Each structure stands twice: as C-alpha cells, then as structure tokens.
Amino acid sequence: MNITGFVFAAGLGTRLYPLTADKPKALVKYKGKTLLDNALDKMKACGVSNVIVNVHHFPDMIMDAVGRHPLAGKIRISDERAYLRDTAGGLKFAEPFWEESDMILCYNVDILSDIDLSKLIDYHVRCQADATLAVRNRQTQRYFLFGGEECVLCGWENIKTREKIVVREMDGSMRLAFSGIHVMNADFAHKIQSVEKSSVTQFYLSGAGEHRIIGYVHDADTWQDVGKFQEFHNFLS
C-alpha cells in the first residue's frame, strides 16, 4: 500500500502572533520540538516515508527545517508562496506529488495529539471508506454530523450561527468535532476540482452523498489545537 503523508504547514499563523512574528507557525516549539518535527515524526512512526509539506509564510525557513529532518530525502515541498490555496486547493495543487499513491494521510501542523495514525489507517482500510476523518466529542463552534453505527458523514453545523447543511438523511445524527487529521483514497482526492482556494470541509460535504466518508472517534487520545496564542499559552501552563 502506497501512502503519501501531507503536512499542512502553509498557514500565516496570525492567530499565534507574536510567536509567529519572525517565523512560521510550523517552527513554533513545544517542549523543545517544532510543530513541524512533531507532525513529521508522527508520519515516520506509522511507516509513512513519502511526505508533502506545503509552504507559504517564511517558506525558506520551513524548507531549511525539512532538510534537517530524518525524512528529508523523502519530503517534497509544495510551494504556495504565490498565494494560499487552503486545504482542498492545496491538495489539488500538490497532485503531481501524490498521484501515484493509493491514499493520502493529512495532518494539520498545529495539532498536537498522541493519536496512533496506524490505527486510523487500518480503520480506514477495514471500513472500505473513501475518506476517514479523526473526530472527537469536544466543545467547539463547528461540527461535522455523523449518523448510524458506521459513523457516516451526513452533514455540518455551526451552533453559533445556526447554519446547518444536511447532505444525507440519517436518523440520530451526532455532532463530532474534526481533529484536523484525516486519510482519503487518492482516487477520491482526484475529484477535487480546482487548485484555487477551497476547504476540504466543503469537498467532503459535496462528496458525502455519493461517497463513503466516515468518522474515526478517538476520544481516548490526547489532542490539542495549538493554532491560537491563548490556547497554546494555556496548554503550556
């Protein structure tokens, strides 16, 4: 099975300012290790050796850091310094790097978790899904909606604005928060239409009616989004 990892590291890091005043958020450190090294180490630990890292903000600094990682020879840079393409657009833009793969394992660089990515991949394969999203029971503003014993994606909801999108009618849908970690089959990822700026959330919702997109609940794992300064500061405290 040919799996390519994708670390989303191109963000501006504005929510982490002032830590990102002189560096990209990917190079902010937690316990002496950069967020980038943490994500790459997660890829390495589950046996994924071919990895894509996208760059935009302080791209040369990230490329220098990539060159010092043990996986350096198998990491390719998707250069988005012209403009940010968001998650779905970024995946499509990097398509030449993953088009020979069977699946793509995606990891947001500002996520810290002890999730076992090998178990996520095994679950994805065993359930014969087109895409599997790591999700949790936690408080947030925006939720994916899942239904049935197999935790099938059926919608999305913003509880603050009360916006709700239903893409598949299912009884007893439940709200689960996305963890910024997901795996999708390459033949499904090829269906992303454009390299222009677009979110993988929109892509998943548009495909959920016809494709098997499921949730992988990992409540037993530690997890923290450290993309905001106050949350990162609280996490360090």
Strands 163-166 and 50-55: what pairing?
A: unpaired
Q: How many domains is the chain built from? A: 1
What's at 75, amino acid-wise?
I
Q: At CA 33, angle to CA 14 and CA 62, rounded to 5?
A: 55
Residue 222 burial class via C-beta count within 10 angstroms: exposed 0-12, middle 13-18, buried 19 and up: exposed
Two tokens, residue 66? 């990539």
Using CA atoms, how far residue 57 sits from 63, 96, 237, in Å, is 11, 22, 27
Q: Please report, in tens digits, the pLDDT of each residue of the chain (237 residues total).
A: 899 999 999 988 888 888 889 999 999 998 899 999 999 999 999 999 899 999 999 999 999 999 999 999 999 999 999 999 999 999 999 999 999 999 999 999 999 999 999 999 999 999 999 999 999 999 999 999 999 999 999 999 999 999 999 999 888 899 999 999 999 999 999 999 999 999 999 999 999 999 999 999 999 999 999 866 566 655 554
In the numeric block, which tokens belong to residue 58? 């302080």
* Per-residue confidence (pLDDT) for residue 237, from 0 to 100: 45
Q: Which residues contact 48 (CB under 8 A, 6 or more apart)?
A: 3, 4, 5, 105, 117
Q: CATH code at 38?
A: 3.90.550.10
One-letter amino acid for residue 39 of the chain: A
What integer pLDDT is reported at residue 171 of this predicted model? Answer: 80
Question: What pLDDT shows up at residue 9?
Answer: 97
**Helix 35-45, helix 59-67: angle, nearest 10:** 40
Residue with tokens 């994924």: 48
Task: Domain of residue 59: give its range.
Answer: 3-236
Tokens, residue 155: 């919608």
Query: If phi over 0 gives left and psi between -120 and 50 gives alpha, with beta otherwise, what is residue 126?
Result: alpha
Structure tokens, 237: 């405290």
Residue given tokens 């890829």 in the structure block: 43
pLDDT of residue 188: 98
Cβ contacts of 64 within 8 Å, gap of 6 or more: none
**pLDDT at residue 170 in the model:** 87
Report the C-alpha gap between 171 and 42 in whole angstroms. 36
How far does Cα 212 stand from its chain's mean position? 18
- The pair phi, psi for residue 51, each rounded to 5°, is -130, 145
Q: How many CB atoms lie within 10 A of CB 5?
A: 28
